[in-house]
């Protein structure tokens, strides 16, 4: 386990931000911490990356205690925070060189590593421009590149795509995918279900400092119930008649019926309707999305 926490608790005055978080993350996996604003996502990352001390409980990164051996922990991790931690008045290249030198690369090795990372994140064209002139997407890419200078075993990404346009978001996702293939463990927080669904092996849903769900995207979806059939009719009257025949709930011309998602069930419902002479215009099966999971578990509008 590269991350192991036990009873992690953090309070700010009266406000309990984390209450007894227990978490284990296997090396080489991707964990997404999902939750609404104020759920404790950033606080968790800040504690695990040695920026904040917990009030109670303990956390180990690669076997090192975050409070007792912060220096050892820092040698294993890299942090890409919520706000791009780049120097606006330095160029992209200068930012990378600076980090490489701080990571104790020799001058020539620092230059080589910088060029590699500029290439990898498609930044060579803007490398010698000041970061002030970069778009949000470029800035994020540089930020991520800076986190990878020393090839971390564990990378924290705090809301890596918040505020990015769709193209930049996809680029970030691809970059994260490459890292996973290289064996880097990723610990990310997000408010976007799509992001968690796409990147993570495992999703932990956090609400008010508590874990309210933990599992793969599929397991979470199943936990809020099975699939449902949406049958749309030409008129509300037809829908009302169908409702009497197959049950479920009506919403205007649409009737939603709980289903196990199987073809047999679909066939039986349609048979019942056609026998009674009620013909739906459209049928769709609907698997629960992470949105449904989120809404059900946190009671928040996702």
**C-beta closer to another protein: residue 53 or 279:** 53
- Measured from the CB atom, the residue of 85 and 245 that comes closer to another protein is 85
What is the nearest approach in angstroms of another protein to the Cβ of residue 23? 19
24 vs 103 by CB, closer to another protein = 103
Closest to another protein by CB, 146 vs 206, is 146
Cβ 58 to another protein, closest distance in Å? 16
Distance of closest approach, residue 97 Cβ to another protein, in angstroms: 9
Residues near another protein (CB under 8 A): 49-53, 71, 74-75, 77-79, 81-87, 89-90, 94, 98-99, 101-104, 130, 146
d(CA 252, CA 239): 7
- CB of residue 165 to another protein, shortest distance in Å: 21
Q: Provide, rounded to whole angstroms, the least separation between the CB of residue 223 and another protein.
A: 34
Compare residues 49 and 171 and give the one whose CB is closer to another protein.
49
Please tell me the number of Cα atoms within 13 Å of 153 on its side-chain side: 14
Q: Which of 258, 254, 256, 257 is nearest to 239 (CA)?
A: 254
Residue 168 neighbours by CB distance under 10 Å = 18
- Please enumerate, as own/partner, the contacts of 86-89 that have beta carbons within 8 Å and a separation of 24 or more: 86/131, 86/139, 86/142, 86/143, 86/146, 87/131, 88/130, 88/131, 88/132, 89/130, 89/131, 89/132
Cα 65 to Cα 46, 54, 186, 203: the distances in Å are 14, 12, 19, 24
Query: Rounded distance, CA 153 to CA 173, Å?
Result: 18
């Amino acid at each position: 386990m590269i991350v192991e926490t036990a009873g992690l608790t953090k309070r700010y005055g009266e406000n309990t931000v984390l209450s007894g978080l227990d978490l284990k993350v296997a090396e080489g996996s991707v964990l997404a911490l999902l939750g609404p604003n104020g759920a404790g996502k950033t606080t968790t990352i800040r504690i695990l990356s040695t920026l904040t001390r917990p009030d109670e409980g303990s956390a180990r990164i690669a076997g090192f205690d975050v409070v007792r051996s912060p220096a050892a922990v820092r040698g294993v991790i890299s942090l890409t925070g919520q706000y791009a931690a780049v120097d606006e008045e330095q160029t992209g290249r200068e930012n990378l060189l600076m980090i490489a030198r701080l990571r104790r690369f020799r001058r020539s090795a620092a230059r080589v590593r910088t060029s590699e990372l500029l290439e990898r994140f498609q930044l060579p064209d803007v490398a010698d421009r000041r970061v002030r002139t970069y778009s949000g997407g470029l800035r994020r890419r540089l930020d991520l590149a800076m986190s990878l200078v020393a090839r971390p075993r564990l990378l924290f990404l705090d809301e890596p795509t918040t505020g990015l346009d769709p193209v930049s978001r996809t680029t970030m996702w691809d970059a994260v995918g490459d890292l996973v293939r290289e064996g880097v463990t990723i610990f990310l927080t997000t408010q976007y279900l799509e992001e968690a669904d796409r990147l993570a092996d495992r999703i932990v849903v956090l609400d008010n400092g508590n874990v309210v769900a933990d599992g793969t995207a599929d397991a979470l979806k199943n936990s809020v119930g099975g699939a449902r059939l949406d049958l749309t009719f030409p008129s509300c009257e037809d829908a009302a008649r169908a409702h009497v025949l197959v049950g479920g709930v009506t919403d205007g011309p649409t009737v939603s019926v709980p289903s196990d998602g199987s073809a047999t069930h679909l066939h039986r419902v349609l048979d019942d309707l056609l026998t009674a002479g009620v013909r739906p215009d459209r049928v769709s099966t609907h698997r629960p999305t992470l949105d449904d999971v989120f809404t059900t578990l946190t009671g928040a509008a996702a």
